[in-house]
Structures are given as C-alpha cells and as structure tokens.
Amino acid sequence: MAKKLLLGDEAIALGAIDAGLSGVYAYPGTPSTEITEFIQNNKLARERGIHSRWSTNEKTAMEAALGMSYSGKRALVCMKHVGMNVCADAFVNSAITGVNGGLVVLAADDPSMHSSQNEQDSRFYAKFAMVPIFEPSNQQEAYDMVGAAFELSESLKVPVVMRVVTRLAHSRAAVTVGEARDENPLNVSRDSWVLLPGIARRKYVELLGKQDAMGEAAETSVFNRIEKAEKPSVGIIACGIGYNYVKEAAGNQFDIVKVSQYPIPAEKIKELASRNDSIMVVEDGQPVVEEQVRGLLGAGYPLCGRLTGDLPRTGELTPDCVAKALGLPGGPVFEPAKNLAARPPQFCQGCGHRDVYTALNQVLATYPDYRVFGDIGCYTLGALPPFRALSSCVDMGASITMAKGAADAGFFPSVAVIGDSTFTHSGMTGLLDAVNENSNIVVVISDNLTTGMTGGQDSAGTNRYEAICVGIGVDPAHVRVVVPLPKNMEEITRVIREEIEYNGVSVIIPRRECMQTLQRHLREAKKNAK
C-alpha cells in the first residue's frame, strides 16, 4: 500500500489501471483530459500495452470501448459533460445491449462553466439510460470507485457511469493505492447484440429487470451511508463533493445521508426523513436528486435545495453557499478590492489564430454585412476584443453547418471558423452536406497541428486536411492553404477575398504550429541535443 499525491483525474486513471483496464477511449475535454494523459504516460499501462490513443470524438470513443467490452475486456470512456451529447446514441443503446467486460463511462461535469458552454448534469444521462452512477466525494474514493464500478458493470452486465466535477477532477490529495489486478482474458460475447426491434424489446425488458439490483447495490454500497447527529433537526442529503462542503461547514451537527452511488438509496433517505423535520439536498450541478426525493417523500414533506432557492440554482457549490444555506456563520472579512480589473484569457503571443482573425476582419470589413460562425477551441477567443470576430459558438462542428444554414437562407457572406481537431471531431459531415448542395460558404480550418485548448494533444487529421476536404468533394481549386504570419497578410487577405467571391464551397486552411506545442518541441529538441 503506497500513498501518492494525485489529481482526482489521476486517481481515476490509476484506479482504472489497477482495476485491470485494457483500454481507455477519449477525446480531450476540460476537466477530463488528464485521465487519458496519465494512462498514456503510466509505466504499467505502457508495459501492458493498454490502449490509450486519442479517439476522433466521443462517439467513436464510446463505440470502440463497447467493442472492447464485447470482447470481454475492461474499457473506460472519458469525456467532458458535453461529450455525453456526442456519444449519447451509443451510450444509451449500450445499456440495452448490455456489456461483457466491464465498461465505465466517465463524465466530467463543469458546473460554473469554468471551461464549458453549459452546466448540464451527466447524472440525468445515466438515469435516462437506466444505469448506475458512481460520484466520488474525494480523490481516494475516485481511486477506489473505478474498481467497484467495473465489478458492478460486470456483475449486472450494464455500463456504469462515473460522474465527477471540476473541483474533484482538478484537485490534488494523497491517495492510498493498492496492487494492480490482471487484465481480463479475451472472451468474446456469445450473446446477440443486434438491436433489431424483436431483440431490442427483449433486451429492454432485461434492463428493466436489473433496476432492483442496481437499487440494492446502491442501498448497501460502502460509498453511501447515514451519519447520525446527536440532535436531529435538518437532515442533509449530500451528494458527491457536496458532502465535503457540509462537513467543512457543519461537522457532525446534522444527520447526513452521503450519496456517492446511484440510484438514490431510498431506504436511507426515508430513514433520514423520519428522523428529521425537513431535508436539504446538497448536490453539485443540477437538481437531479432533489427532484427524485420530492417524488419519494411526497409534496407534503419539507424539502429544500437548489429548486427552492436555498442553494443557488446556477454555478458550482462552494463551502460558502452551503454554510449560508445551513444558516451557519462565515463570510468575508475584507471588502472586495477597488483597484481590480477582469483579466480574461487571451491568445498566446505569436499565435496563428491572431493572424487569421486580423486577415478575416480586414477583408470582411469591406462587405456591408457579414457573419462569422465560430466553433469550440482556443480560437473561440476571437469573439473577445480586440477581434470581436465571431457571431456564434454552439457545439463542436456547428460553425460549418450554421454557416450553411445561413447561406441556405440567402445570407452572404457566410463564413465558418473551425479548428483542425474540431473539424475531424464533428465538422466533416457538415462539410459533406455543404458540398452536396454547393452551399455558398467559406470554411476556415485554422490548423495549428494540435488540439490546443486542452493542452496540445494529437489531432486526428494532422497532415491530411487537404486530402480530407477534396475527398469529401470540395473542388481542389478551392482548397487553399496559407501560412498565418503578419508578413503574409497580403496573400492571406487576397485568398480570403477570392474565396468569398467564389459561389460555392471554399476551404481555406491557415496552417502554423500552436505556440504552446512549438515551445514544448523546442525544449525537447534542446534537451535531446545535450
């Protein structure tokens, strides 16, 4: 038994390796990225040849993991919360097919949207698919739970969701780690996973039949417990890291049902309700449990939480909002400073995206009206001053299809800006739609040869973007490559102008390496030269 100082993400990664993982499948996304990176760099994982290469998107990741599970081995899929939307089709149906080797789907939620465009709660997805959830309250549980999740997945033959939030994913603490279990042997499923209606109906009934066992597992889980106070008053249901804030603020003052495994442990919650006059639900994210407990206890039982406004409806929980909701003292001593300005993130010095926006703005300013539809990545910062270049950023790939829709509506000029990694993630299919209708759009694939926003992971299509676009059907004469540097501004603006004036699908690929990865590569080269 060794102790290691680990990020929540790293604890999950090591927990998975030690649980006999055979493959992690993921697309980078804050706050989940470090899980896969840890496995990529782990010695044992390398020795065992555990699959850890990045997938093109969350859907391909989920499906490949399901294939590994089908073959009897343990697979982990990791993503940020919005990745659940991308893989939802595969995920929801994996509950119907069931699994063979253990399958854990790790969703890292981002309440407060530190690095995201919404704060959707992945527990809804698990409930929708009718599968169990594990939600660790600390790094040790994160490590321990991965193994428990694989065990449960294999015993009930269902995928299991593990849900974390940013504050656990990116917080470090000491974790006691155990011995590494062997990987499962290859043992390909002999069941039919063909979800034709006749089979799917039978399998759906099977899934429904497992619900009681899932409930029983949560009721007896070592991760769920009732803590009894000397004088019960308000009972608290504390989910995931919500438990920490309750303990920080109130110690042993209240009865607590700690919930870290779902479905909600109904018997424990009923006991809590009978011992106390009212219940408060403390959960990070959306009021998933509060709604369910309302149903469990009925409209007459005094219940509060995020829905009642006792805790804020939006944003992550903090020790402060929890203490306030519990009526406990605390708060600031000093007033907020007067001489303080916001410091938003910005493009790195020398970043090629800067030159792309400078050129775009210069050309587009000569048109009476124009729109640039943006996408997800570092280049979304082009929406902020000084560029103010973007009108939209919705989801991975939406730049191309929204530009197409605007062009369909008759708007001109309609421009899309998308990064290289985002393009292969979800932009290619939209480009095919545009090609099939010869839509009058300009697609700028700002290619920095990496997945930059999340710290420089491999990008799935590097060195193949022209070939991909031509293969999809874009006229090779309108696939233009430029080098985004200030000295090339004349050429870049000329190319942009020509392609805007061309009536059809154009792709412009400004290509120059990300400053972050360039500096890393230079450091490595210097080190190797020594």
Quick count: other Cβ atoms within 10 Å of Cβ 522? Answer: 10
In the complex, least distance from residue 421 CB atom to another protein, rounded to whole angstroms: 15
* Residue number with CB closer to another protein (406 or 515): 515
Nearest to 435 by CA among 501, 372, 373, 504: 504
* Residue number with CB closer to another protein (299 or 337): 337
Pairing status of strand 303-304 against strand 371-373: unpaired
Structure tokens at 108: 């890292």
Beta carbons of 7 and 53 less than 8 angstroms apart: no
Pairing status of strand 255-259 against strand 225-227: antiparallel
* Residue number with CB closer to another protein (311 or 495): 311
* Residue number with CB closer to another protein (49 or 350): 350
In the complex, least distance from residue 268 CB atom to another protein, rounded to whole angstroms: 20
Residues forming the site for another protein (CB under 8 A): 3, 5, 7, 30-31, 33-34, 114-115, 167-168, 170-174, 241, 243-245, 247-249, 318-320, 323, 330-348, 378, 381, 453-455
* Residue number with CB closer to another protein (342 or 409): 342
What are the beta bridge partners of residue 299?
none
171's CB contacts (< 8 A; 6+ apart) are: 7, 8, 139
* Residue number with CB closer to another protein (196 or 333): 333
Please tell me the number of Cα atoms within 13 Å of 274 on its side-chain side. Answer: 6
* Residue number with CB closer to another protein (274 or 349): 349
Cis peptide leading into residue 263 (ω within 30°): yes
In the complex, least distance from residue 23 CB atom to another protein, rounded to whole angstroms: 24
Query: Tell me, what amino acid is at 403?
Result: A
Beta carbons of 149 and 177 less than 8 angstroms apart: no
The full length of the chain comes to 530
In the complex, least distance from residue 277 CB atom to another protein, rounded to whole angstroms: 25
Residue ranges of the alpha helices (H) in 266-312? 266-275, 288-297
359's enclosing H/E stretch is helix 352-364
In the complex, least distance from residue 151 CB atom to another protein, rounded to whole angstroms: 27
Beta carbons of 32 and 26 less than 8 angstroms apart: yes
In the complex, least distance from residue 335 CB atom to another protein, rounded to whole angstroms: 7
* Residue number with CB closer to another protein (33 or 260): 33
CA distances from 285 to 84, 149, 456 (A): 15, 21, 28
In the complex, least distance from residue 453 CB atom to another protein, rounded to whole angstroms: 7
* Residue number with CB closer to another protein (38 or 91): 38
* DSSP SS3 for 465: helix
345's CB contacts (< 8 A; 6+ apart) are: 381
In the complex, least distance from residue 385 CB atom to another protein, rounded to whole angstroms: 8
In the complex, least distance from residue 125 CB atom to another protein, rounded to whole angstroms: 22
396's CB contacts (< 8 A; 6+ apart) are: 57, 82, 86, 375, 376, 422, 425, 426, 427
* Residue number with CB closer to another protein (413 or 452): 452
